[in-house]
Structure 1
Amino acid sequence: MSYLAPSEFVTKMVDAGEAKVFMATRDTLIRAYMAGATLAIAAVFAVTVAVQTGYPIIGAILFPVGFSILYLMGFDLLTGVFVLAPLALFDKRPGVTIGGVLRNWGLVFVGNFAGALTVALMTAIIFTFGFSVEPSGVGIKIAGIGEARTLGYKEYGAAGMLTIFVRGILCNWMVSLGVVGAMISTSVSGKVIAMWMPIMLFFAMAFEHSVVNMYLFPSALILGGDFSIMDYLIWNELPVVLGNLVGGLTMTGLTLYSTHIRTAPKRSLA
């Protein structure tokens, strides 16, 4: 399946990070919007399958279809740019600055959230027949997830905050391996297989993914979940974003960069 050696795909990671830092605002927002929307559809698909079958593991097995689609289409998730954009800075690529990296992160966050929120509104209409009836079984399940994964952490105070942060770290350790997986093969089948494995693992283990949560929790609030916007931000989204940043950058980005970049083919300056 045209497997690339680590020294080759790590160079591709740095190149990709550099490209994202310099990408036009319009393109960054469009790609982030579509990534957030696509991943949101995958999340509701996984929850639907779990409700229909009674086996959450089946939803986890199928969830990576959305991740595979969005990366094959060249869209960008916050969890991915957390890993790739800083590598161009560490590699001292010309013109790459901390400000450029932060700008990329901010634009992708906004785009991902807008895409996920759009799907949350659309699916809420589906689950309630245009808000004319009570939510369907899937809608009730999503509302319950929102409560359990905000108030459930809040109940334990600092210990709950630590737990959600660590779940965020573990999540993007796995998700970022999926991002890298898209680079280790030049065939579609090879890319999909490499992406599928770690993404399935994170979803099955109920780790916390900031972009998936951009769909689940606004959707839960729309569908009547008994928690507040501040509960969502403080007891889920913000600590998850920080955990995703730490996990992806340290456990995947910096480890692969530090051990493989010296053996990578030298980049031509011509």
Structure 2
Amino acid sequence: MAYVAPKEFVTKMVDAGEAKIFMSTRDTLIRAFMAGAILALAAAFAITINVQTGQPLLGAVLFPVGFCLLYLMGFDLLTGVFTLSPLALIDRRPGVTLGGVLRNWGLVFTGNFAGALLVALMMAVIVTFGFTQAPDAVGEKIGHIGEGRTLGYAAHGAAGMLTLFIRGVLCNWMVSTGVVAAMMSTTVPGKVIGMWMPIMLFFYMGFEHSVVNMFLFPSSLMLGGNFSIMDYLIWNEIPTVAGNLVGGLTFVGLTLYATHSRTAPARTPAVARGTDNVVPVAAE
């Protein structure tokens, strides 16, 4: 399926990071807004499947449809730019600065949150008939998710915070792997297959995705979830953002860049004096 070799798609990763840094404010916000909205709809879709069928695996299998759509339309998630944008700085692309990277992250966060928040409001209206009745089964499920994934962590103190952070790390390890996997093919089927597998894994395992949570927790608050905005920020969103940054940049961006773009010198064979035996030695 038109496979792209690692050295080539790592160059694509750096190019993509550079392009995102220099993108206009308007386009960055629009693309981030749409990405947040589409991913929120996919999360609502998966939760609806879970509630109606009682099969969480089925929801996880179908959730990646949203991620694939937003990627193919060229929209941006915070988790993706956490991994790609810094590579342009590390590669010393002309004009790329730390300020430019931080600007890109801030704009994408803002756009993602606005898009996810709009869908959260829309879904809250749907599951309550315009706030005229108690939430339906899907709305109740969303409300309980918000409580369990804020107060549930808080109940364990520092251990809960560590667990939350690591779930954020593992999440973007998988999500950014999906972003990169899409660059491994030049065909739509190849891109979709590459993205689908790691996204399905993260969702089924219950890892913490900062943009999905921008939908889940505000909608949960609208539906009567028994936690506060500060609970959401301190016991979910902020640690999740930090974990997503570490996971995507460390385990995907930097590792691929280090081994395929800044490859270490290869070991070369050398013939030992006075013998026909070949002795492998490290290249100087």
TM-score (norm. length: structure 2): 0.92
2:15 is the alignment partner of 1:15 = yes
Q: Secondary structure at the match of 2:261?
A: helix
Which residue number in structure 2 is paired with residue 116 of structure 1? 116
Give distance in 2, aligned partners of 1:41 and 1:3.
Answer: 31
Alignment of 1:71-150 (within 5 A): 71-150=71-150
What is the deviation of 1:181? Answer: 1.3
Q: Which amino acid aligns with 2:228?
A: S
Give distance in 1, aligned partners of 2:93 and 2:243.
Answer: 26
Superposition RMSD in Å: 0.5
Q: Per chain length, whose mean CA-contact separation is higher, i.e. which structure has more relative contact order (CA < 8 Å, sep 6+)?
A: 1
Q: Which amino acid aligns with 1:73?
A: M
Give distance in 2, aligned partners of 1:136 and 1:28.
Answer: 36
Give distance in 1, aligned partners of 2:223 and 2:253.
Answer: 37
Q: Which amino acid aligns with 2:112?
A: N
Give distance in 2, aligned partners of 1:223 and 1:183.
Answer: 39
Q: Which amino acid aligns with 1:151?
A: L
Alignment of 1:1-270 (within 5 A): 1-262=1-262
Which sections of structure 2, spanning at least 5 residues, go unmatched?
264-284
Give distance in 2, aligned partners of 1:50 and 1:175.
Answer: 21
State the identity %: 76
Deviation track 1:191-246 (CA, whole Å, cap 9, x = no partner) reads: 00000000000000000000000000000000000000000000000000000000
Q: Secondary structure at the match of 1:93?
A: coil
Give distance in 2, aligned partners of 1:131 and 1:80.
Answer: 35
Q: Which amino acid aligns with 1:125?
A: V
Q: Secondary structure at the match of 2:95?
A: coil
Give distance in 1, aligned partners of 2:101 and 2:237.
Answer: 20
Give distance in 1, aligned partners of 2:160 and 2:231.
Answer: 13
What is the deviation of 1:262? Answer: 3.7
Displaced runs of 4 or more, over 3 A: none
Q: Secondary structure at the match of 2:207?
A: coil
Q: Secondary structure at the match of 1:105?
A: helix
Which sections of structure 1, spanning at least 5 residues, go unmatched?
264-270
What is the deviation of 1:51? Answer: 0.4
